[in-house]
Amino acid sequence: MCKKPIIGITMGDAAGIGPEIIIKALSIRKIYNWCVPFVIGDVQVIKFYLKRYKFQKRINSVTDCNEIKVKFGTINVLDKKNIDFGRLKIGEVQKMCGRAAVEYVRAGINLALEKQIQGIVTAPLCKEAMDKAGVFFPGHTELLAQETSTKVYAMMFLGKNLKVILVTTHLPFSEVPEKINQKIVLEKIKLAYDVSRRLKIKQPRIVVCGLNPHAGENGLFGKEEKEKIIPACKKAKQLGIKVFGPYPADTVFYYANKGKYDIVIAMYHDQGLIPVKLLDFSSCVNVTIGLPFVRTSPGHGTAFDIAGRNIADSSSLVESIHIAARLAM
């Protein structure tokens, strides 16, 4: 029996850079030292990119995990056969690709819940294509949570030095303040503590951002800190968690990047993602914490504008596979 974790890699949107970065990543030998990579996608699409970019790789088309060949140079693919290759338009939003991308994720979820694979790495999908296909989710995170009936979960982004967890995710900014409450902030702090321990940080130092400028300036610029965030921090401290803040977000990330804190709790999407992507755009990793299995993904999107041009950078996918393998062990 193989001691390395089997990591399912969903192909993402076939019209985006997903297939390209998967092939490039699986051309790196060290990935096979970390895990057994296993693609959930469409064989025709993978073959097209192998031929187009002249990668000397073999495809092993499988129907289940028992047929996987653990060998560098062989790409194991669970072929869902859900792309009409003659209709595929690289770099364009297509209903067919949106539907197929969701099917890959659902297949990965089923395999993970059945313990056939130990983690999922998801290549980028396109929310607009999903919407055209009649699948209405803001993104991977919400789809994964609903399909697994997970109530308490969070998006975490890992850069070289920064680890950031979001309290709210894909919301209009106008809805953020009303969504923040003591319960949800405390949940995210607890998730931050748990994942930090899994990442071998024995006594994680967790810092919480304020929502408002200057963290509310004691109520002068907003009351969310006093009424919601500070009470959550106090409860976390009572549980023995080493938590700091809420502090102004304009300084938190500077000090976290310097190593003063291990993980940052950001109140909303762009508050957390701008610093991470500014510092580590090509290699940051998205981790969904709280699921019953490991799930990671690159910190970027489908990049339709460069799809099919052989210039997409696979660094973030490579690091996503690495993190998934670490967490799955």
- Strands 294-298 and 163-166: what pairing? unpaired
Give the domain extent around 230. 154-274
Indicate whether 284 belongs to any domain: no
d(CA 265, CA 278): 17
Indicate whether 12 belongs to any domain: yes
Check: pTM over 0.85? Answer yes or no: yes
Which phi-psi region, left, alpha or beta, contains residue 69 (left: φ > 0; alpha: ψ -120 to 50)?
beta
Residues 226 and 264 in one domain: yes
- DSSP, res 217: T
Residues 232 and 316 in one domain: no
Does an H or E element contain 110, and which? helix 95-113
- Contact residues for 239 (Cβ-Cβ < 8 A; gap 6+): 190
Indicate whether 279 belongs to any domain: no
> What CATH number is associated with residue 306?
3.40.718.10
Residue found under tokens 């899994």: 198
Could you count the other beta carbons within 10 Å of the beta carbon of residue 91? Answer: 15
- DSSP, res 259: T
Tens-level pLDDT at each residue, the chain (329 residues): 458 999 999 999 999 999 999 999 999 999 999 999 999 999 999 999 999 999 989 999 999 888 999 899 999 999 999 999 999 999 999 999 999 999 999 999 999 999 999 999 999 999 999 999 998 887 788 899 999 999 999 999 999 999 999 999 988 999 999 999 999 999 999 999 999 998 889 899 999 999 999 998 988 999 999 999 999 999 999 999 999 999 999 999 999 999 999 999 999 999 999 999 999 988 899 999 999 999 999 989 999 999 999 999 999 999 999 999 999 98
Residue found under tokens 């770099």: 91
Indicate whether 11 belongs to any domain: yes
Residues 134 and 18 in one domain: yes
Residues 119 and 10 in one domain: yes
Residues 128 and 206 in one domain: no
